[in-house]
Amino acid sequence: MNDRSNQRPILMFDSGVGGLTVLREARVLMPDRRFVYVADDAAFPYGAWEEPALKEHILALFGKLLDRLQPAISVIACNTASTLVIGALREKFPGHLFVGTVPAIKPAAARTRSGLVSVLATPGTVKR
Protein backbone atom coordinates (compact mmCIF):
# COMPACT_ATOMS: atom_id res chain seq x y z
CA MET A 1 0.00 0.00 0.00
CA ASN A 2 1.23 3.47 -0.73
CA ASP A 3 1.44 6.37 1.73
CA ARG A 4 -1.94 7.71 0.68
CA SER A 5 -3.75 4.40 1.25
CA ASN A 6 -2.19 4.15 4.73
CA GLN A 7 -4.15 7.27 5.67
CA ARG A 8 -7.45 5.74 4.57
CA PRO A 9 -9.31 3.46 7.00
CA ILE A 10 -9.62 -0.28 6.83
CA LEU A 11 -13.28 -1.23 6.66
CA MET A 12 -14.32 -4.22 8.78
CA PHE A 13 -17.76 -5.51 7.84
CA ASP A 14 -20.04 -8.07 9.46
CA SER A 15 -23.75 -8.69 9.74
CA GLY A 16 -23.47 -8.27 13.50
CA VAL A 17 -20.81 -8.14 16.20
CA GLY A 18 -18.97 -11.42 15.54
CA GLY A 19 -16.41 -9.60 13.40
CA LEU A 20 -15.26 -7.63 16.43
CA THR A 21 -12.91 -10.54 17.16
CA VAL A 22 -11.32 -10.03 13.73
CA LEU A 23 -11.09 -6.28 14.40
CA ARG A 24 -9.39 -6.89 17.75
CA GLU A 25 -6.68 -9.02 16.16
CA ALA A 26 -6.22 -6.60 13.25
CA ARG A 27 -5.64 -3.77 15.73
CA VAL A 28 -2.94 -5.84 17.43
CA LEU A 29 -1.22 -6.47 14.10
CA MET A 30 -1.66 -2.91 12.78
CA PRO A 31 -1.85 -0.57 15.79
CA ASP A 32 -1.16 2.55 13.72
CA ARG A 33 -3.99 1.97 11.26
CA ARG A 34 -7.48 3.46 11.50
CA PHE A 35 -10.40 1.02 11.33
CA VAL A 36 -14.09 1.52 10.72
CA TYR A 37 -16.35 -1.32 11.88
CA VAL A 38 -19.72 -1.66 10.18
CA ALA A 39 -22.30 -4.08 11.58
CA ASP A 40 -25.33 -4.47 9.34
CA ASP A 41 -27.64 -4.96 12.29
CA ALA A 42 -30.60 -3.55 10.32
CA ALA A 43 -30.47 -6.67 8.14
CA PHE A 44 -29.34 -9.13 10.84
CA PRO A 45 -29.53 -12.14 10.80
CA TYR A 46 -28.33 -12.86 7.28
CA GLY A 47 -29.24 -16.54 7.53
CA ALA A 48 -32.95 -15.67 7.31
CA TRP A 49 -32.59 -13.92 3.92
CA GLU A 50 -33.16 -15.40 0.48
CA GLU A 51 -29.78 -15.44 -1.30
CA PRO A 52 -30.64 -13.16 -4.27
CA ALA A 53 -32.14 -10.47 -2.01
CA LEU A 54 -29.22 -10.63 0.42
CA LYS A 55 -26.68 -10.40 -2.39
CA GLU A 56 -28.44 -7.35 -3.82
CA HIS A 57 -28.64 -5.77 -0.35
CA ILE A 58 -24.93 -6.24 0.41
CA LEU A 59 -23.83 -4.99 -3.01
CA ALA A 60 -25.95 -1.85 -2.63
CA LEU A 61 -24.70 -1.30 0.92
CA PHE A 62 -21.07 -1.58 -0.19
CA GLY A 63 -21.69 0.93 -2.95
CA LYS A 64 -22.65 3.42 -0.24
CA LEU A 65 -19.90 2.41 2.19
CA LEU A 66 -17.10 2.64 -0.36
CA ASP A 67 -18.32 6.00 -1.59
CA ARG A 68 -18.69 7.43 1.90
CA LEU A 69 -15.68 5.93 3.70
CA GLN A 70 -13.14 5.54 0.86
CA PRO A 71 -11.41 2.65 2.68
CA ALA A 72 -8.00 1.36 1.63
CA ILE A 73 -9.26 -2.23 1.95
CA SER A 74 -12.47 -3.96 3.04
CA VAL A 75 -12.39 -7.02 5.27
CA ILE A 76 -15.55 -9.11 5.06
CA ALA A 77 -15.53 -10.58 8.58
CA CYS A 78 -18.79 -12.42 7.94
CA ASN A 79 -18.78 -15.99 6.64
CA THR A 80 -22.21 -15.62 5.03
CA ALA A 81 -21.28 -12.44 3.17
CA SER A 82 -17.85 -13.81 2.23
CA THR A 83 -19.23 -16.96 0.65
CA LEU A 84 -22.17 -15.24 -1.02
CA VAL A 85 -20.89 -11.96 -2.44
CA ILE A 86 -17.12 -11.55 -2.28
CA GLY A 87 -16.77 -12.50 -5.95
CA ALA A 88 -19.56 -10.12 -6.96
CA LEU A 89 -18.01 -7.34 -4.85
CA ARG A 90 -14.65 -7.81 -6.58
CA GLU A 91 -16.39 -7.76 -9.96
CA LYS A 92 -18.53 -4.69 -9.22
CA PHE A 93 -15.69 -2.72 -7.58
CA PRO A 94 -12.58 -3.91 -9.47
CA GLY A 95 -10.27 -1.19 -8.15
CA HIS A 96 -10.91 -2.08 -4.51
CA LEU A 97 -9.35 -4.86 -2.45
CA PHE A 98 -11.72 -7.21 -0.59
CA VAL A 99 -10.52 -9.84 1.88
CA GLY A 100 -12.86 -12.52 3.18
CA THR A 101 -12.65 -14.66 6.29
CA VAL A 102 -13.48 -18.01 4.72
CA PRO A 103 -10.04 -18.62 3.13
CA ALA A 104 -8.52 -18.30 6.62
CA ILE A 105 -10.31 -21.45 7.77
CA LYS A 106 -8.08 -23.85 5.81
CA PRO A 107 -4.76 -22.57 7.23
CA ALA A 108 -6.28 -22.52 10.71
CA ALA A 109 -7.29 -26.17 10.39
CA ALA A 110 -3.83 -27.08 9.12
CA ARG A 111 -2.26 -25.67 12.29
CA THR A 112 -4.28 -27.80 14.69
CA ARG A 113 -3.29 -31.29 15.83
CA SER A 114 -6.60 -32.74 14.66
CA GLY A 115 -6.89 -30.70 11.47
CA LEU A 116 -10.28 -29.49 12.68
CA VAL A 117 -11.64 -26.10 13.69
CA SER A 118 -15.09 -24.95 14.74
CA VAL A 119 -16.94 -22.44 12.60
CA LEU A 120 -20.18 -20.69 13.47
CA ALA A 121 -22.05 -20.56 10.19
CA THR A 122 -25.51 -20.29 8.72
CA PRO A 123 -26.84 -23.24 6.68
CA GLY A 124 -26.28 -21.19 3.52
CA THR A 125 -22.63 -20.61 4.36
CA VAL A 126 -22.04 -24.31 4.99
CA LYS A 127 -23.77 -25.16 1.70
CA ARG A 128 -21.64 -22.70 -0.30
**Phi and psi of 49, rounded to 5°?**
-85, 150
Domains in the chain (CATH in brackets) are: 3-127 (3.40.50.1860)
- pTM of this structure: 0.80
Average pLDDT (7-21) is 94
Burial 65-79 (b: 16+ CB within 10 A, else e): bbeeeebbbbbbbbb
Residue 128 confidence (pLDDT) = 59
Residue 123 confidence (pLDDT) = 67
Residue 61: closest CA among 104, 13, 27, 107: 13
Residue 32 to residues 1, 6, 27, 100: CA-CA distances in angstroms? 14, 9, 8, 22
Using the 8-state DSSP alphabet, how is residue 98 labeled? E
Angle between the 51-69 and 79-92 helix axes, to the nearest 10 degrees? Answer: 60
Percent of the chain with pLDDT over 90: 61
Percent of the chain with pLDDT over 70: 87
Residue 99 confidence (pLDDT) = 95
